[in-house]
Structure 1
Amino acid sequence: MLELLVVMGILAALTAMATPQVMGYFGKAKTQSAQLQIENINTALEMYYVENGSYPSPSAGLRALVEATPEAPRWNGPYLKNAKTLLDPWGRPYQYTVSEQGEYNVYSLGPTGKGTKKPTSAANAGRSWADNG
């Protein structure tokens, strides 16, 4: 009986030590997945731009990549396979903004749902993954 309690104690200690590590891996995996999804969305936006001469308007949003809109008469999509691609790994829609100069920004609100809109580097400004810590 004592041996069983010792084994259970060791297992409990190992679980307590491993859980934060495993959860950290899941968090990193979701972040990397979001970065890859944003790259795919950026590629789809560029294809949309080539065919339509502009990026989707803020009112049409990223939905214009999967559904035709009246503002894009030369729409030749879908540019993404399905609308599920427009949700980040945390189940929230990716955010999309377009400046008056025609530059866009695609970002996730991240695990907290609050986001920052800050690109991770100046080289990615306007087409970025937002660090949402």
Structure 2
Amino acid sequence: MDKSDKSARHIRQGVFTLVELLLVVAILGILATVAIMNVGGMSDEAREKATRTSIGAIEQAARMFEIRTGKYPDSIDQLTQPLGDRPALLDKKAMNDQWGNPFTFKKTSNFIEIRSAGKDGAMNTQDDILNVEE
């Protein structure tokens, strides 16, 4: 057996045929479709849980801001700005809920209200998600 036969056989062993590659892509497509369909039913519930977690993170960042500055932030935007030589407490990506709507931030003398418009995207409706009880 000469060198060209050995190298040709070695190349063939390490290369997928077009049919094998198409089969793998088709299987991955089927698996992705099944996964999306299964997750789709729980999507709103998962988004609500993730939004509640984000609200909790914003609330914690506001408390840390108060510890560092002696007062609560006037707006949610202050949490995305560096505090002196310290990095920002929140990433700007955390400014929106899981439906892409911006959080609202209302400071009163007693508490900070952080609100998501929820699934419908409209504020002050039944599906709003808050950090405080109304």
TM-score normalised to the size of structure 2?
0.60
What is the RMSD computed on CA atoms of the aligned residues?
A: 3.0
Q: Deviations over 1:10-65 (max 9, x none)?
A: xxxxxxxxx6x8544000000000000011111101000001111111xxx11111
How far apart, in 1, do the equivalents of 2:123 and 2:133 lie? 7
User: CA 1:63–1:129 in 2, change beyond 3 Å: closer, same or farther?
Assistant: same
The residue aligned with 2:79 is: 65
Displacement after TM superposition at 1:67 (Å): 1.1
User: CA 1:67–1:38 in 2, change beyond 3 Å: closer, same or farther?
Assistant: same
Q: Does 1:29 align with 2:42?
A: no
How far apart, in 1, do the equivalents of 2:132 and 2:48 lie? 9
Displacement after TM superposition at 1:76 (Å): 3.6
Seq. identity, %: 21
The residue aligned with 1:78 is: 88
**Contact map agreement 1:95 1:106 (CA 8 A) in 2:** yes
The residue aligned with 1:124 is: none
The residue aligned with 2:26 is: none
How far apart, in 1, do the equivalents of 2:85 and 2:111 lie? 20
2:118 corresponds, among 110, 124, 127, to: 110
Alignment size in residue pairs: 96
User: CA 1:37–1:112 in 2, change beyond 3 Å: closer, same or farther?
Assistant: same
Q: Does 1:54 align with 2:62?
A: no
SS in 1 for 2:48: helix
Q: Mind listing any 5+ residue stretches in structure 1 that lack a counterpart?
A: 1-18, 121-126
- Structure 1 or 2, whichever has the larger Rg, is 2
* Structure with the bigger percentage of helix: 2
How far apart, in 2, do the equivalents of 1:44 and 1:64 lie? 10
User: CA 1:130–1:109 in 2, change beyond 3 Å: closer, same or farther?
Assistant: farther
The residue aligned with 1:128 is: 131
SS in 1 for 2:99: coil
Q: Deviations over 1:108-130 (max 9, x none)?
A: 01111113388x9xxxxxx7168
Amino acid at match of 2:62: L
**Contact map agreement 1:95 1:107 (CA 8 A) in 2:** yes
**Contact map agreement 1:33 1:89 (CA 8 A) in 2:** yes
